[in-house]
Amino acid sequence: MKLKNDQDLINEYQSNERTLLAWIRTGMGIMVFGFVAVKFSLFIKQLPAKYLPDSTVPGSNFSIYIGIGLLIAGALTILLSYFRYMQTVKLLQQGKFQYSTRLLTFIAMTLFFMSIALIAYLIVASYE
């Protein structure tokens, strides 16, 4: 294995840090979307009560559950990315860095299934 100079090591550590910060931004974006989903659901439930007292409000809390799920997914994204960051730092220090797609696969599949559930809910709710 070729010995790396100090600048190469610094670049690897900085790249790892930039990756962590990108994952934190991603996690925060997921959490914001979840927050908006919950707040919008609550807004939709309160709107008829205030302006249309004779109307009936759908009783489904599914979008609230999806929003909370997105909040949890965002928080997990931040937490898991931190653990991945620390693991990468240790591997870089040992000179044994191994690329892994497990975190990417987990987050992508979680968000995909939550998106499908939200799409299904919107389709069903549009026919009610």
Q: How far is residue 38's CA from residue 55's CA, in Å, rounded to a whole number?
A: 21
Tokens linked to 107: 């987050």
Q: Which domain holds residue 83?
A: 6-126
Q: What is the pLDDT of residues 51-83, one digit of tens each?
A: 666 666 556 677 788 888 888 989 998 999 999
Q: Does a structural domain hold residue 1?
A: no
pLDDT for 59: 62
Q: How confident is the model at residue 1 (pLDDT cuts 50, 70, 90)?
A: very low
Q: Does a structural domain hold residue 44?
A: yes
Quote the Cα angle for 116-55-127, to 5°.
30
Q: Does a structural domain hold residue 89?
A: yes
Q: Does a structural domain hold residue 71?
A: yes
Q: Does a structural domain hold residue 15?
A: yes
* Domain total in the chain: 1
Q: Does a structural domain hold residue 21?
A: yes
pLDDT for 58: 59
Q: What is the pLDDT of residues 5-64, one digit of tens each?
A: 777 878 888 888 998 899 899 999 988 988 888 887 777 666 666 666 666 655 667 778
| DSSP summary character for residue 125 | H
Q: Does a structural domain hold residue 96?
A: yes
pLDDT for 78: 92
CB atoms under 10 Å from CB of 110, counted, come to 17
